Amino acid sequence: MPEYKTKQKEILLECLDNNKSIHMTAADISEHLKAKGHSLGMSTVYRQLDKLVAAGLVRKYIIDENSSACYQYIGESGACCEHFHLKCNVCGKLLHTDCSFMKQIAAHMKEHHGFEVDLSKTLLYGVCSECRKNNPENK
């Protein structure tokens, strides 16, 4: 059965694509869409997100059992699976690190500890350089 492009799906994809540098909860997405003049019910947002996750266009992050799931647009390349992610505790920005040192850490974990790191779910928390620059008290 062919996948039809609905207006809701297009609106949701546009929202996620325009905000792909941050993780957004379904509530964040709903608020953003309302601010842009679009009224999608939460059940529609969740339904469309589930479809986009299943299609591999959106990544779903579950940080812990006390937090809402976060979503991020990754597009059709799926390239977001090959690196570590850094999330700023202050502004919420999501940084993608594709450096050899982080790959060395993953290789070390596998070789010396028998533990293969799932890079698609790896998220390190801290404070980005912009937030530290804007407020040196941010640590």
pLDDT digits (tens, 9 = 90+) for 95-135: 777 778 888 888 999 999 999 988 767 778 899 999 999 88
Q: Give the chain's domain count.
A: 2
DSSP state, residue 81: G
Backbone angles phi, psi at 58, to 5 degrees: -130, 140
Please report the DSSP string for 103-126 in residue order.
HHHHHHHHHHH-----GGG-EEEE
- Its pTM stands at 0.63
- The domain boundary, picked from 78, 105, 127, lies at 78
Cβ partners under 8 Å of residue 42, min gap 6: 26, 27, 30
In which domain, by residue range, is 117 found? 82-139
- The domain boundary, picked from 62, 78, 94, lies at 78
Q: Say how far apart CA 119 and CA 129 lie, in whole Å.
A: 23
Mean of the per-residue pLDDT values of the chain: 82
